[in-house]
Structure 1
Amino acid sequence: MSSLYGLRPLPSHGRFGYSAITRRPGYAWPNGARLAVYLGFNLEHFAFGEGLGARIGPASPEPDVLNYSWREYGNRVGAWRCLELFDQLALPTGCLLNTALYDHCPELVSAFAARGDELIGHGHTNAERQGDMPEAQELALLAGCHARIAQESGTAPRGWLSPWISESRTTPDLLAETGYDYTLNWAHDDQPLP
C-alpha cells in the first residue's frame, strides 16, 4: 500500500526485528521466578566548569556552581545514604559507574564493590556523549573503561550504559569487540534479547 503513494519503508537499525510480546512463548527466569526486578544506580562524575551536566536549576555561566554542587552532593552524601538503605533492605544493585570516580572518590566505588554489586560501565564521565565521538575515540573509551574497571575491581564488567544513553551506529559492535556482553541502552522490551 505504501508504494501506491510513493512512500517507502523507514530505515531500520537492522539489529533485531519487531516481535509482539503476545506472540512469544513464555519466558522462564532463573529458579522459576515469575518477576525480575533490576535496580540500576548511577554513580556519575562531571568536569567542573566544562562539558555537559544535568541541571535541576537554571543554567548559570560557567563555572555553574549550583548544578555542579548538587551532583557532587550525590557522591558525598546521597549515595552513602542509599547504600545504607540498600543494605537494610538486602537489595543488590547494578552500579552504573563513570570510571572518573576511581580518581575522584574511590571509597564510594569500593563500597558498592564490597557489597558484591555488579559494576557496569557507564563511560569515563557524564560530561561527554560518546555518540559524538569518532569511531576510534569511542573504541578507546570503551576499551579504557573496561580495562579500568577490571583493573580496579578484579572483575571485568559485563554490561554498559552509555552516558546520556548516547550511541553511535557502531556502539553495539564496539561493545562486543571490547568485551562487553550486554548494553542497557536499548530500553525496548521486557525480556532480554541476544
Structure 2
Amino acid sequence: MWRVGWVNHQLATNPLHLFDANIFYPERLTLTLSDPVILPAVTIAPLLALGVNPIVAYNILFLSGFWLSGIATYLLVERLTGSARAAFIAGLAYACYAYRFEHYSHLELQMTQWMPFGLLALHLLLGRDSGSGIRDSTPESRVPSPARYVLALALASVAQLYSSMYYAVFFLVYAAAIG
C-alpha cells in the first residue's frame, strides 16, 4: 500500500524523482528495490482524487486483479477451445489459484490479468484458428487487424511490465514460446 501511495504522491509533486522514494533516506532510487507498481497506482489515482479512502481504493485495486485475471483467461480459453464451460473453469482456476492466496500481501503478484490478454492478442495476431468456429467479429475500422493486435500485444506487455516486473519476464517467455 505504501508503494501505491508513494507513486501517486510523487507523480503529483515531483515525477522526475519517482524512484527516489523516501524509504532508506538518503539513498536514491529506492523504489527500484521492489516492484514499483506504477500502473496499479495510476489506476486508482482517480478514486483517490475523488476522496475515496485509500484503503478502500487499494482493496478495489487488489480485488480487480482477481476479477480481471478470470475474465482475461475466460476470453483466451474460449478463443482457444470454443467452449464457454472450459473457459469458465479455466478463468475461475486462474483467478483463484493457491499461489495467489499465498501471496495476497503482494499487490504486484495479483496483477496477472495482462498475461492472458497479451496471449490472446498474440494468438489473434498470428492468425491461428482454434477450430472453434469463433471469428473476429469486430466491425472494420481504419486500423488493419494485424496493427490492432500488435497494439493490443504491446499495451498488454507494457501494462504487465508496469504492474509486475516478475510477471513481465514470465509473459515474455510465454510469448516467445508461442510465437
Q: What is the TM-score of this pair, normalised by structure 1?
A: 0.30
Question: Which structure dedicates a bigger proportion of its chain to helix?
Answer: 2
Query: Greater relative contact order (Cα 8 A, min sep 6): structure 1 or 2?
Result: 2
Q: Please say which structure displays the higher CA radius of gyration.
A: 1
TM-score where L is the length of structure 2: 0.31
